Structure 1
Amino acid sequence: MTKAQDFRAMTADQLDDEVVKLKKEQFNLRFQKATGQLENTSRVKTVRRDIARVMTVAAAKRAEAK
């Protein structure tokens, strides 16, 4: 789990890249869950919350830039 403070240090482009990376990980975790290969079930929740954190910080940065 990454803290929001770490995300605030990133640029908007870096935040967009982070969202893409986390969404890919979320897809892979859902796929593993469906096939019964997922061992760390708590990771699904953590990734979902990290995506929300990144998107919140990105929206705040965009609003601040305007």
Structure 2
Amino acid sequence: MKASELVYLSETELDTKLAELKQELFNLRFQLAVNQLDNPTRIKAVKKDIARIKTIQRQRQIAANN
């Protein structure tokens, strides 16, 4: 998901998306451990999406404090 798309989501939507991505990352790591992962590059993409969401949340938190 692109950062430009994430900017327009509300805080609750971001929290929901973050929880979904964390669960997906957990499942991907589990699949990797048991050698059933079809696309190992998906782990990298999910981690980047998680970082994007956390960055947007932090930017909003800083903006709210100023």
For the aligned pair, the TM-score class normalised by the smaller chain equals: over 0.9
Give 5+ residue unaligned stretches, structure 2.
Answer: none
Confirm or deny: 8 A CA contact 1:12 1:58 kept in the other structure: yes
- TM-score relative to the length of structure 1: 0.92
Q: Percent identity?
A: 40
After the TM superposition, list the runs of 4 or more consecutive aligned residues in structure 1 that deviate by more than 2 angstroms. none
RMSD, aligned CA:
0.8
- Structure with the larger RCO, 1 or 2 (CA within 8 Å, 6+ apart): 1
Give 5+ residue unaligned stretches, structure 1.
Answer: none
Count of residues paired in the alignment: 65
- TM-score relative to the length of structure 2: 0.92
